[in-house]
Amino acid sequence: MSTTSSADLSDGTGDRILRPRPRKPIHSQLSQITNISEPNGTLEPIANAAGSSTGMTSGRSTPIPVDALPSVKSLSSARKQVRAEQRRRIFPTIEYASRVSHFDPSSDYRDFHGFFNLFWIGLAIMAITTMLRNIKDTGSPMRVQIWSLFTVKLWHLAIADFLMVATTAISLPLHRIFRHAPMGGAMSWSQGGMAIMSIYQVLWLALWIAVPFLLDWTWTAQVFLLLHTMVLLMKMHSYAFYNGHLSETEKRLHALDDPSTASRAPAYLYPTPDNPMGTVASPKRAGGKGKLNGKVEKSDTDTDEVADEIAQLREDLARELTSPIGNITYPANLTWWNYLDFLCCPTLCYEIEYPRTDKIDWQNLLSKIAATFGCIFLLTIISEEFILPALTDASLRLDPSLRTPDSPLTGLEVLLILAETISWLLFPFMLTFLLVFLVIFEYVLGAFSEITHFADRHFYSDWWNSTDWMEFSREWNVPVYSFLRRHVYSVSRPYIGKSSATVITFLISAIGHEIVMACITKKLRGYGFVCQMLQLPIVMLQRTKWIRGKKTLNNVCFWCSMILGLSVICSLYVLV
């Protein structure tokens, strides 16, 4: 019985040539296995078939002679190999190789965006089930205990916030006065300007911390104004001190127009105990000879050397007065528009100029605004449904006035109530912490970045992988970390050393956090201050040779201390 197929054709000489049947393309992972199983690139003819292959083929039908040129044979062989990769074995083949799973510590896979989506889906399920339960119990999807606080004395908050922002604007006219004062004069920055701005900032902070207490605001309004106050304080400080540094630099540059009387000390950024001018701006000039506070030694008598020294100093000072991007030079930045732009930019460290985007991404801006209100909605639900009931119940159980003389409250009962309350608050406070992080650093700062065309969106790093509290402090709040490093750590380190400067930086940060907690709870307890300062010995312990390098263990300890610490601090402030 004979059959006719595309695989059984005859050429012009009557020879029988076996052609490969067209096959469906296979996955590239099987190409290597296919080539091994079929080394010739074509299906082998059946042994008892009539005729046999007597020639080579070019393409699918055109034969090539046996004595063809090597280049022709190479092209034909390449075509056969490509066709062989498109075939597969009759039974599907699975490729096995030495690989690790996505969650393996040695895996290079880093895209877990689906878990971020799952996080939001889980929160949506929580919100929906909570509202359905409220409808069943009360007939209303929402409780109103916290929602009602948002509208209390709202106009007071708006007016006070506007006045608070307006009172920071005194920095610009004061700085213009400091700039025009003669070098070394009473109103120059290095003499009286720094002291004036420091005193003003202290009084300004005290005033706006006291305003909510004097007006008897709710804790929600007080938190908003206090956080905004802290942000503007850091902005005002950075604006004043950086421009003050530039004003002194400009005066030194102008003084070099008369080199015979001007100081030829190297350009400095920050002061040191040994030299009040600070750290050398140009390392090449630090090793120069014959330069000490503008006094010329005998080796400086060479005219060419002095001229080169002055030219290098002019270059250092001029570079310091120019923005990193190079478009604006001090004092061209001393304008109201530049100051208002800095207030709106999502940064705490002042620079003459920032990198900008070309246009506003309106879709991104609207999505961040919507996400901000969505996070506030979820935060309110979590507070009303899980945090407030637990604290209210514990407060009633700890109230001595509700106890009878026969059943006084013992110390053991107090500890048990606190432990139970802390356990109830672990998960709600973890969610609250994550939502507060997202609403501030991803959505609010992201929205202001779009509005101001601010291009640098690096507001946080992967702090969730932190292995100690020092790493967390660097990565979870980049704007505040940059401010503290620039205006606290870098200024104090030349005087007191690296370790002491680190302690001072943590101390100032802890004081700021304690002020926030004291204003929220109207209690000055120091729990937050103590817990934050305890981070330093914990970091020292984690960096010992027995624990250092164990990233998984340190990260687990970080998360456990974070989750437990939030619940403990809140319970202590509210209940004790």
How many angstroms separate the CA atoms of 135 and 540, rounded? 52
What residues have CB less than 8 Å from 329, skipping those under 6 apart?
318, 321, 322, 323, 352
Measure Cα distances from 118 to 114, 115, 192, 349, 560 in Å: 6, 5, 57, 35, 22
Alpha helices (H) in 438-489, listed in sequence order: 445-452, 469-475, 478-484
Phi/psi at 70 (5° precision): -55, -35
Chain Cα centroid distance, residue 518: 27
Using alpha carbons, select from 283, 170, 161 the residue that is nearest to residue 226.
Answer: 161
Q: Residue 165: name the closest of 26, 340, 301 by CA.
A: 340
513 is catalytic: yes
Distance CA 29, CA 48 (A): 34
Tokens standing for 110?
């880093």
User: Of 156, 228, 453, 513, which one is the catalytic site residue?
Assistant: 513
Tell the residue number behind the tokens 């606080």, with chain if given.
Answer: 149
Concatenating the DSSP letter of every residue in 298-319 gives: GGG--HHHHHHHHHHHHHHHHH
> What are the structure tokens assigned to 19, written together?
């052609």
Q: Are 450 and 364 in contact (CB under 8 A)?
A: yes
Gap between the Cα atoms of 424 and 442, Å rounded? 28
Closest alpha carbon to 346 in 375, 368, 362, 327: 368
**CA atoms within a 13 Å half-sphere pointing along the CA-CB vector of 39:** 1
Q: Are 473 and 510 in contact (CB under 8 A)?
A: no
Task: Report the alpha-carbon distance of residue 188 to residue 167 in Å, rounded.
Answer: 22
- Enumerate the active-site residues: 513
